[in-house]
Amino acid sequence: MDILQIIERMIWPGLAAVGFAILFNVPQRTLLLIFGMGAACGVTKFMSMELGLEVVLATFLAAIVVGFLSIPAADNKHSPMYVFAIPSIISMIPGAFSYRAMLGLIKLTGHLSTEEYIQVMQETTSNGLKAVFVLLSIAVGVSMPMILLRHDSAQEIMARIVKSRE
């Protein structure tokens, strides 16, 4: 694991997050934090997978990190938490798995031998289920901190965190 790989895994998700945020016209004051959260998301997923976690668990962990980081970011920039969370996780959307699952479904409509059909069916099912579980892990991971702490405002949460450090 090279430091340049880690930096690369921070830059591209950060840029994707900022691009998505600009596309949906978020306030300019939030863009730097969105870049940082996208970078944190990308490096968390990368490091988790380097340490041996599967893609679904690594994605879940990165989504939880983004969910928790969006609380102080929302308080700091006076914007809703989802302004930070949604663009930050956009680089984790399982496009490759979804694409392979769709290609597999198309292949299944053709003339295949029994062995080829079974092989394509297994690959298609595997890719489709990975895509679904990655999407579920993103949804649950990002929303879990907000659901657990929804009865408190971001300022109250930050005050408790600061108080617990003293």
pLDDT, averaged per 10 consecutive residues of the chain (166 residues), comes to 88 96 94 96 95 96 95 87 92 94 94 93 97 97 85 70 79
CB 70 within 8 A of CB 149: no
Tell me the residue type at 93: I
C-alpha 31/C-alpha 140 separation (Å) is 24
How would you class 44 by CB atoms within 10 Å of its CB: exposed for 0-12, middle for 13-18, buried for 19 or more?
buried
Model pLDDT, residue 152 = 65
Task: Please state at what angle helix 81-89 crosses helix 3-23, rounded to 10 degrees.
Answer: 120
Helix (H, G, I), strand (E, B) or coil at 94: coil
Residue 143 neighbours by CB under 8 Å, 6+ apart: 67
| pTM metric for this prediction | 0.85
Return the structure tokens found at 21: 């945020």
